[in-house]
Structure 1
Amino acid sequence: MTITAHERADMSRSPIAGTDPTPAISLHGVSKVYRSGSETVTAVREVDLNIERGEFFSLLGPSGCGKTTTMRMIAGFDDPTDGEVRLTGNDVTGVPPNHRDVNMVFQSYALFPHMSVHDNVAFGLKRSGVAKREISGRVGEMLDLVELGDRAGHKPAQLSGGQQQRVALARALVNRPSALLLDEPLGALDLKLRQSMQSELKRIQREVGITFVYVTHDQGEALTMSDRIAVMNEGIVEQLGSPAEVYERPATRFVAGFIGTSNLLTGTAGEARDGGSDVRLADDHVVRAGTALLPGAAVDMTVRPEKIRITTHEPDAALSRVRGTVTDTVYLGSATHYTVRLADGTEIVVFCQNTSDALEVAEAGSAVWLSWQPQHSYVLPEAHASRPAPHTPADPSDEETHNHA
């Protein structure tokens, strides 16, 4: 079923994204500090965010990064220690959850086991005093939207995990919130069902046209569904951008390591020419970066595994190239993953599609060349002056912040 234009307008209670410059959700300098006796833990640090109307927006990061705490402050379950939360331009800091025009969907679904699917979805409408005839129509439309119209009389125990998740979505959407907050809602599902539900969530979001804010630690979910992603670490937003931006152009070492698999190479900038620069690595290999750099500067660059070609013969000198030894191969059907160790001990991961025209297959112990286009050497934009030596980079930190997120 396709929802009508009138119903979509009612559900969003606001103009469709792009016609009103006021964001659906704004955070201005929002921080959250938990105190227990003499101990102080900062869960969220001065976060500034604008989430647009009709946007599918994800808060992505590891456990303890502050993403759930941020969502709870949007929902009103937690108050910020500092800063301001605005919904469609209105300051709601301190306003209780039941007076905010948002609904939240949890990983646990929280369905009433003794009620039918219809009554679960209708529960909030009945409590709000909506007329019985209107309840029937709105519940029917929501169940059709989530493709459960034929399950209205079933109890939750008679449904699969994915179907229960869709009931929880219908129950949240039937109240026509201006934004829907989803806290790792697919975490309890198996892989195949989770992937199917990712497509369903995106379809439903497009149908209803309202803002979805999605919390997840799963980078694949965020990349698949989001219009934009805020990558969080230790209570701060390390990067905000589209899925392609955070994947192809990570802003920090943390983002480069957390989003997908990335090979981090450290060296010193040499000669700048033709719009790029030579970079001398720790093992004296010289590779090309597609960015002009200040000679002598310490450089951190990333190269994604799928950008690299592995061969036993020497590649073209115009490419970035290094030599190493294969230490591990993992066959995954459609692709093979190689781990190659350079002379200085640096390990590089390579993803190769197992196509019919694949030229070579390397085995563990083989001496190989790795090569890639200079533009695929992405130089991280962080300052490196604080590093003690360009050839001994610290490992990216992925420690959990001990907080309530």
Structure 2
Amino acid sequence: MTDIQQDMAAAEAGDPAAAPVPAIELAGVVKEYHARGEVVPAVRGVDLSIAEGEFFALLGPSGCGKTTTMRMVAGFEDPTRGTVRLHGRDVTAVPPNRRDVNMVFQSYALFPHMNVWDNVAFGLRRRGLPREEVRRRVAETLEIVDLAGRERRRPRELSGGQQQRVALARALANRPRALLLDEPLGALDLKLRQAMQGELKRIQREVGITFVHVTHDQGEALAMSDRIAVMNDGRIEQLGPPREVYERPATRFVAGFIGTSNLLAGTVAEVVGDLAVLRAGEDGRVLLPAGDHLRPGGPVEITVRPEKISIETVEPVPGVSAVRGTVTDASYLGTANSYLVRLPEGTEFTVFEQNVHDSGLTARRGDTVWLSWQPQHSYAIGSRTPS
């Protein structure tokens, strides 16, 4: 166990029967700005609870309020209304330097004239820690982020991923109980960004503290996080584990923002057993689990992910969703083939077909094809049971 984990365990010691105190809590948090005599809302009544040791993602497009939310946790912004608690303590009016959190920025903000060791030691020295304590903490943290042996290098002598690890080490050396990461991988190229996703998760597991990761990259959030809060227009539209958010989107926005999703609106024609049936064109059908909220004649909007769909040149067997359309585009993507298929009413579906054969594309532009998928892969938006 590292010294960081030992400090956390000591801080958490108490009544074992008591409910665990969240690492971070936001209650009714609102942030408004004033510009040209108008009130501009940035965050609109966010309620949020993040568990101790959780890898949590705030995900959303630019301007959705995710960075403002994190800056209020860090103390760099004051809420207009609401309460911020860290480990049960109200810190709404507490300045940043007295909050037990550290923040890592996209730019890393390293001192170019200092080497790796001095960059990591900077905050510890500012706090007046004894020299031996500084030496021990820096050495331990550099080992955690896999930079041992590079202590004397300057930032310009490091790769982008190594610079990011220096910034992480500098934050971790202070032993915060929560680490806030603002688009930490945004400055890296794709291959390095993917490699660093695994590194960040490894570091978080090793030190065991709460990570809050702000990003607009859906793949990052899905790959790294224990839970995701999807934000839009200052509000949280859905909160849950990555698989739930991806497979069972709560709103049309979430369905469209997380990955690629096909949306189809219609009316329930009938309910047969435990399946609801929607008609699609003259001979098409969409099957989905009925649930208590679906009745014949009622409107419904479904989403189905492109990788769940099969593309065929003959009509599928009964018992699956099946719609007919015309291929408007077919592309070879290496690991998969991608198709755009226009349905008779004008809706365009995206289909991903895993590239497991050497025969090339199943269909080409202009072909009439059938799309099919299992009933459980049709998900009615808004039907998720709140957790």
Normalising by structure 2, report the TM-score: 0.94
In structure 2, the residue matched to 1:391 is none
- Which residue of 2 is the match for residue 117 of structure 1? 116
Q: What's 1:186 paired with? A: 185
Q: Any idea what SS the aligned residue of 2:136 has?
A: helix
1:10-21, aligned counterparts within 5 Å? 10=7, 14-15=11-12, 21=20
Question: Could you tell me which residue of structure 2 aligns to residue 8 of structure 1?
Answer: 5
Change (3 A) 1:273 1:290: same
Partner of residue 377, structure 2: 376
| Distance (whole Å) between structure 1 residues aligned to residue 141 and residue 66 of structure 2 | 29
More moved, 103-112 vs 29-38? 29-38
Instruction: Identify the residue that residue 195 of structure 1 maps to in structure 2.
Output: 194
Larger RCO (CA under 8 A, 6+ residues apart): 1
Rounded Cα–Cα distance in structure 2 between residues aligned with 1:21 and 1:336:
47
Q: CA deviation at 1:286?
A: 2.6
Report if the CA contact (8 A) 2:4-2:175 is conserved.
no
Aligned twin of 1:256? 255
> Which stretch of the first structure deviates more once superposed, 297-306 or 32-41?
32-41
How many equivalent residue pairs?
378
Give how far 1:284 is off.
Answer: 6.9
Aligned to 2:327: 326
Query: Superposition pairs for residues 25-64 of structure 1, below 5 Å?
Result: 25-64=24-63
C-alpha separation in 1, matches of 2:280 and 2:23:
46
Which residue in 2 is equivalent to 1:394?
A: none
> What one-letter code is carried by the residue in structure 1 that aligns with 2:378?
S
Query: Is 2:281–2:344's contact at 8 Å kept on the other side of the alignment?
Result: no
Distance in 2, matches of 1:71 and 1:232, equals 12
Q: Is the 8 A contact 1:12 1:176 kept in 2?
A: no
Secondary structure at 2:117 match in 1: helix
Shift of 1:12: 6.8
- How many percent of aligned residue pairs carry the same amino acid? 65
Task: Give SS of 1:78's match.
Answer: coil
Q: Distance in 2 between matches of 1:200 and 1:329?
A: 36
Instruction: Give, as a single letter, the amino acid of the residue that structure 2 aligns with 1:173.
Output: L
**Aligned 8 A contact 1:9 1:15 in 2:** no
Alpha-carbon distance in structure 1 between the residues aligned to 2:353 and 2:108: 40
Aligned equivalents of 2:237 and 2:167: distance in 1?
31
Q: Equivalent residue for 1:83?
A: 82
C-alpha RMSD of the superposition: 1.7
Q: CA–CA distance in 2 between the matches of 1:53 and 1:259?
A: 26
- Contact persistence 2:321–2:374 (CA under 8 A): yes
- Verify: 1:229 aligned to 2:228, yes or no: yes
| Secondary structure in 2 matching 1:188 | coil
- CA offsets 1:335-379 (integer angstroms, 9 cap, x no match): 000000011111000000011387971111111000000111100
How many Å separate the matches in 2 of 1:115 and 1:154?
Answer: 8
What aligned pairs does 1:293-372 form with structure 2 within 5 A after superposition?
293-356=294-357, 361-372=362-373
Code of the residue aligned with 2:62 in structure 1: it is S
For 1:107 and 1:169, locate their aligned partners in 2 and report how far apart those are by CA, in whole Å: 11
Q: Where do 4+ consecutive residues of structure 1 move more than 6 Å?
A: 357-360
Query: Equivalent residue of 1:150, what SS?
Result: coil
Equivalent position amino acid for 2:96 in 1? P
CA–CA distance in 1 between the matches of 2:207 and 2:41? 36
| Structure 2 stretches lacking a partner, 5+ long | none
Residue 165 of structure 2: aligned partner:
166
- Secondary structure (helix, strand or coil) at the match of 1:72 reads helix
Report deviation, 1:271: 1.1
Give the deviation of 1:21 after TM superposition: 1.2
Q: Return the offset for 1:15.
A: 3.4
Residue number in structure 2 paired with 1:398: none
Q: Equivalences for 1:115-154 in 2 at 5 Å?
A: 115-154=114-153
The one-letter code sitting in structure 1 at the alignment partner of 2:197 is Q
Cα deviation, residue 295, structure 1? 1.3
Alpha-carbon shift at residue 91 of structure 1 (Å): 0.3
* CA deviations over 1:262-297 (Å, ceiling 9, x no partner): 000000012112212111346773311122411111
Q: SS state of the match for residue 49, structure 1?
A: strand
Instruction: Note if contact 1:267-1:282 (Cα within 8 Å) is conserved in structure 2.
Output: no
**Structure 1: gaps (5+ residues):** 384-405
Deviations 1:114-154 (A, max 9, x none): 11100000001001111000100110011111111111011
1:370 is aligned with what amino acid? L
